[in-house]
Amino acid sequence: MYKTISFLSIAIFYILSTPSTIVCGQNKIIDKKVMLHLVNKHKLAFTQGKVADYIPELGKANPKAVAFSITNENGETWSVGDNKQKFTIQSISKLIALMLAVEENGEEKVFTQMGYYGTHHPFNYFANLDHNGRPLNPMMNAGAIYTTSLIAGDADEPYQKILARIRYITNNPKIDINPTIYESEKATGYRNRGMFYLMKNYGMIEKEEEVLNNYFRQCSIEIDVEDLSKIAYFIANQGTRYDGDKTHYNKELMQLIQAQMLTAGMYEFSGEYARTIALPSKSGVGGGIIATVPNKIGIAVYNPSLDEHGNSLVGYLILKDFVQEYSLGIF
């Protein structure tokens, strides 16, 4: 009896004192306490940024909400902060649209009328088009609108395919559109509409404006930071889902997507970002950023207060410290 009690107390002591850890390649151990520390260290930096309000409904986000999640090499997701907070995926959806457009048309066709360029202009700059009227890349709005136009299907079918793929990757059938944000984007998306008609003028897009609505819909898909870290894991691991499912395994395609993330995923800040963080990443004006550690882990951060480039400021600071702490950069 006495022996049983002392064995139990040793076991309980052991469980309580074991640090929360995640194995992360090269025998590095990521401590969940470090994740929490970084959230606390940077959460007040939201005061130096600004919540996007050019889409009026986005302006209602809570600027204090901060969340940080990683999906580790074993496919386990670890999160700290406001990890159940929902927000819209925005530009991060461009990765999924690119995935589908290339699967359906092949890389060559998708990039015949679009470049692999970076840019020094903001994401919604009118002339993110080259001298022939071709979009610079699929990460800025012009190229993303074009990319979505290449996904086959009438009415909202291309959007439904994007939604289905996001639900598959996250294994979360509850993910859906935020209809209020969609209406707000559609009602105020004059610049995007302008780019759409400019490309239509160049003969690049044959379909009518419903194609643009699909772009607005994909941006209005609502997720949380854990969903995002699973998307990052999927891309990092060549299309292997966090639970090991390989239905959409495609090494070539995920290499292309990560190359684009590195070149243009953080808009005109991408070059400096590649120097300071050195991970393929993609941000959205909803406040999310995803980063891939190729063949290893997926990372996601969230805070809706943005810097002048449209990237989450708190998210960037957390990522920068985290990547340095564990030497995760690819160079």
Binding region for ligand GLU (CB under 6 A): 90-91, 123-124, 141, 185, 192, 219, 284-285, 310
Q: Is 215 annotated as a binding residue?
A: yes
Half-sphere CA count of 107, side-chain side, radius 13 A: 10
Q: Is 267 annotated as a binding residue?
A: yes
Q: Is 222 annotated as a binding residue?
A: no
* Minimum CB distance to ligand GLU, residue 192 (Å): 5
Q: Is 327 annotated as a binding residue?
A: no
Residue number with CB closer to ligand GLU (239 or 284): 284
Q: Is 192 annotated as a binding residue?
A: yes
Helix (H, G, I), strand (E, B) or coil at 231: helix
Residue number with CB closer to ligand GLU (254 or 285): 285
Name the closest residue to ligand GLU (Cβ).
91
- Please answer whether residues 261 and 281 qualify as being in contact, where contact means their C-beta atoms are separated by less than 8 angstroms: yes
Q: How many CB atoms lie within 10 A of CB 15?
A: 8
Distance, in Å, from the CA atom of 131 to the CA atom of 21, rounded to the nearest integer, reads 51
* Minimum CB distance to ligand GLU, residue 173 (Å): 24
- Please answer whether residues 88 and 284 qualify as being in contact, where contact means their C-beta atoms are separated by less than 8 angstroms: yes
- Please answer whether residues 306 and 89 qualify as being in contact, where contact means their C-beta atoms are separated by less than 8 angstroms: no
Apex 136 CA angle, 142 and 124, nearest 5: 35
Structure tokens at 143: 């190229």
* Minimum CB distance to ligand GLU, residue 141 (Å): 5
Residue number with CB closer to ligand GLU (83 or 93): 93
* Minimum CB distance to ligand GLU, residue 310 (Å): 5
- Please answer whether residues 231 and 240 qualify as being in contact, where contact means their C-beta atoms are separated by less than 8 angstroms: no
* Minimum CB distance to ligand GLU, residue 169 (Å): 19
- List, as residue ranges, the binding site: 91, 141, 185, 192, 215, 267, 285
- List, as residue ranges, the binding site for substrate: 91, 141, 185, 192, 215, 267, 285
